[in-house]
């Protein structure tokens, strides 16, 4: 397996969440870039073309769900896998996420193994 490192865009307004996600993904040998809100996420996703976006739902300026809709409407990011991170695991919240175009979701607190499994699944690894 001589694959180049996959690039992951982490989006969260919480330093704590970003740090834990970075630690979990860093040890799995991914290149990680970050954004602190949905708006910044859209800009970075278009400019940096990550292989996958892991994005919190509740954020200032633009929520994860809104950002997901914008990313799905843009040619450059239409097919980029998006995993939403949510504190709400109820059916309505999950359905709203999928309706916005996300590929999968994980709930907080993040379980490292679950996150890596879903991430690898979306990246076809």
Partner 1 sequence: MAAPKDTLGDYVRQVRESTQRYAQDLLAENEKLLALALTVHTEKTQLEEQVETLRTQLERHRAAERTLAEEMSDMESTRRELSSRYLDVEQSNTNLAHLYVASYGLHASLERDDVVRSIHEILVNLVGSEDFAIVDRASEGGPFTVTSSMGVSAERCARIRPDEGTIGDSLTRGVTYVRSLDGQGRGPEEPTACIPLTVGGRVYGGIVVFGLLPHKPQLEAVDRELFDLLATHAASALYCCELHARVKLQVGREAAQ
User: Which residues of this chain interact with partner 1, rule CB under 8 A?
Assistant: 14-17, 19-20, 23-24, 27, 87-90, 107-113, 116
CB nearer to partner 1: pick between 60 and 89:
89
Residue 72, class by beta-carbon neighbours within 10 Å (0-12 exposed, 13-18 middle, 19+ buried)? middle
Could you tell me the smallest distance in angstroms from the CB atom of residue 96 to partner 1? 15
CB nearer to partner 1: pick between 25 and 68:
25
CB nearer to partner 1: pick between 74 and 120:
120
CB nearer to partner 1: pick between 7 and 108:
108
Neighbours of 58 (CB within 10 A): 15
DSSP states of the chain as a string?
A: --PPPPEEEEE-S-HHHHHHHHHHHHTTT-EEEEESSHHHHHHHHHHH--SEEEEESS-SSS-HHHHHHHHHHSTTTTTS-EEEEES--SHHHHHHHHHTT-SEEEESSPPHHHHHHHHHHHHT-
Could you tell me the smallest distance in angstroms from the CB atom of residue 119 to partner 1? 13
Could you tell me the smallest distance in angstroms from the CB atom of residue 78 to partner 1? 30
Could you tell me the smallest distance in angstroms from the CB atom of residue 93 to partner 1? 10
């Amino acid at each position: 397996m001589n694959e180049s490192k996959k690039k992951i865009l982490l989006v969260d307004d919480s330093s704590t969440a970003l740090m834990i996600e970075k630690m979990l993904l860093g040890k799995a040998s991914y290149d990680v870039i970050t954004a602190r809100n949905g708006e910044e996420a859209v800009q970075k996703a278009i400019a940096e073309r990550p292989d996958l976006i892991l994005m919190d739902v509740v954020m200032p300026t633009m929520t994860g769900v809104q950002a997901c809709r914008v990313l799905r409407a843009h040619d450059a990011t239409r097919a980029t896998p998006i995993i939403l991170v949510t504190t709400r695991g109820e059916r309505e919240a999950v359905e709203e996420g999928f309706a916005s175009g996300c590929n999968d979701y994980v709930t907080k607190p993040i379980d490292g193994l679950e996150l890596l499994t879903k991430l690898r699944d979306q990246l076809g690894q």
